[in-house]
Amino acid sequence: MDGILIPLAMVTIMALDLVVWLLMIAVIMHWLMAFNILNARQPLVNMVHNFCERITQPLLQPLRKRLPYVAGVDLSPLVLILLITFIQLLIKHNVA
């Protein structure tokens, strides 16, 4: 049982790390496009932004429905990163 549980936990932790990175990329790209530093009409920028949005939006939508904006700032990515980090810690402590 331990032979399959540890690799499965490691793959899950790596997948959650990837989601955190995609969240950070999506948030930073959104800020840069809002301040006209990145041009959303560029094909590569548009492609990366659309990919990140398609991955992160299903995870963020339930949080956005429940969390209010604080001074016009969306805190749902921060809350999601904290939740993912908590889940990773639970997995690490239960497998180790």
Domain that holds residue 81: 2-95
Distance from CA of residue 89 to its chain's centroid? 16
Residue-wise pLDDT for 58-85, tens only, equals 999 999 999 988 898 899 999 999 999 9
What pTM did the predictor assign?
Answer: 0.89
Q: Work out the pLDDT band at 95, boundaries 50, 70, 90.
A: confident
pLDDT, tens digit, for every residue of 11-60? 999 999 999 999 999 999 999 999 999 998 999 999 999 999 999 999 99
Query: Do residues 76 and 67 lie in contact, with contact meaning Cβ atoms separated by under 8 Å?
Result: yes
How many structural domains is the chain composed of? 1
Tell me the C-alpha distance between 8 and 14, whole Å: 10
CA dihedral 6, 94, 13, 16 (to 10 degrees): 150
Helices then strands, each counted (H, E), the chain: 3, 0
Q: Is the pLDDT confidence value at 4 over 90?
A: no
